[in-house]
């Protein structure tokens, strides 16, 4: 990857790489965002399942919410645009805890943080880098993995991102959801989300939501909805066809060589040695 191509589509803000679709002016102004106490923030490192959880919440009957586009997507006009929503806002973002608007923390808004096995996340982000014109082109998986391990990718290090949120895992306004658990026991995870948001769902509604938000169904719909710019959940593209690739657990095994796995695992052990979330991930992945 030439540094020229990286320069043209990425920029650094407070030491973290962002796509230029997130303007520096907007990132600088986030602390002035007019936060409401009933706002819900849907947070994750990129390629961890944000779209899926967003679709699930949108499909809960009686939720009375509006899904907005990500808070860091666009220019300074985004903050004015978000004021226009009258219903309860569900706002997606890939920001680390430190970069989240300060008023979100002060008002203790509800936050759902989604975690996914970092090996699967890395593979998914690699494909995203290859297919998404808003990201630099990387030639090979090996080259990308090196960048991923150094944290030289959009939104920085996976490890730092997860740890920044884990520090707040016991805050009452934060719910941590694992992508793998959602795959394994959909209704249990959905009930957790609904209870957290203060919404009731019964079993027949859960079955309906499970069908509507199945990967194949979402992939089909993404083609139909692709022209709908209001339905942008990813801060890196409004092209929904780029978002749904495989949606499986454990695909990393088809990419990592045994040496790459060893290097990755060593870093994981070192960085996450005090992490409770890492232990859960190792159990469920």
Residue 212: the pLDDT is 86
- Mean pLDDT in residue range 17-35: 96
Report phi then psi at 40, rounded to 5: -120, 130
- What secondary structure does DSSP assign to 2-46, as a single string? -HHHHHHHEEEETTEEEETTB-HHHHHHGGG----TT-EEEEEST
Statement: residue 226 has pLDDT above 60? no
What is the set of active-site residues?
A: 94
Statement: residue 244 has pLDDT above 90? no
Q: Quick count: other Cβ atoms within 10 Å of Cβ 128?
A: 22
**Which range, of 179-183, 186-190, 229-233, 242-246, averages the lowest pLDDT?**
242-246
Residue 134: the pLDDT is 85
Residue 4: the pLDDT is 42
- Mean pLDDT in residue range 47-73: 92
Q: How far is CA 250 from the centre of its chain?
A: 18
| pLDDT tens digits, 66-79 | 999 999 999 999 99
Confidence of residue 242 (pLDDT cuts 50, 70, 90): low
- Mean pLDDT in residue range 34-41: 97
- With a CB cutoff of 8 Å and minimum separation 6, the contacts of 186 are 206, 210
Residue 3: the pLDDT is 45
Statement: residue 7 has pLDDT above 60? no
**Strand 16-19, strand 10-13: pairing:** antiparallel
Residue closest to 278 by CA, chosen among 236, 62, 44, 269: 269
Statement: residue 2 has pLDDT above 60? no
What domains can you pick out in the chain, each with its CATH number? Answer: 3-284 (3.40.50.300)
The residue with greater pLDDT, 234 or 173, is 173
Residue 159: the pLDDT is 98
Residue 133: the pLDDT is 84
- Mean pLDDT in residue range 249-259: 93
pTM > 0.75: yes or no = yes
| pLDDT tens digits, 111-166 | 999 999 999 999 999 988 988 888 998 989 999 999 999 999 999 999 999 999 99
């Amino acid at each position: 990857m030439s540094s020229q191509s990286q320069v043209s589509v990425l920029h650094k803000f407070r030491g973290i790489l962002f796509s230029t679709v997130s303007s520096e002016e907007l990132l600088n102004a986030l602390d002035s965002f007019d936060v409401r106490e009933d706002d819900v923030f849907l947070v994750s490192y990129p390629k961890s399942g944000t779209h899926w959880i967003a679709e699930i919440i949108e499909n809960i009957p009686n939720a009375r919410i509006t899904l907005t586009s990500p808070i860091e997507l666009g220019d300074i006009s985004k903050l004015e645009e978000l004021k226009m929503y009258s219903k309860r806002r569900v706002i997606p973002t890939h920001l680390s805890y430190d970069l989240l608007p300060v008023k979100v923390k002060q008002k203790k808004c509800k936050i759902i943080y989604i975690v996914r096995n970092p090996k699967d996340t890395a593979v998914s982000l690699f494909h995203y880098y290859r297919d998404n014109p808003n990201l630099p082109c990387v030639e090979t998986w090996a080259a990308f993995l090196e960048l991923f391990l150094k944290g030289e990718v959009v939104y920085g290090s996976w490890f730092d991102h997860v740890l920044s949120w884990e520090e707040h895992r016991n805050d009452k306004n934060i719910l941590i959801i694992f992508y793998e658990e959602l795959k394994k026991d959909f209704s249990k995870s959905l009930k957790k989300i609904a209870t957290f948001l203060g919404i009731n769902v019964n079993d027949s509604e859960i079955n309906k939501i499970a069908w509507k938000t199945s990967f194949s169904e979402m992939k089909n719909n993404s083609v139909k909805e692709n022209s709908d710019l209001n339905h942008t959940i990813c801060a890196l593209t409004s092209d929904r066809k780029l978002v749904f690739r495989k949606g499986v657990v454990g695909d990393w095994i088809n990419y990592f060589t045994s040496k790459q796995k060893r290097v990755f695992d060593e870093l994981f052990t070192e960085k996450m040695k005090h992490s409770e979330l890492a232990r859960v991930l190792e159990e469920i992945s």
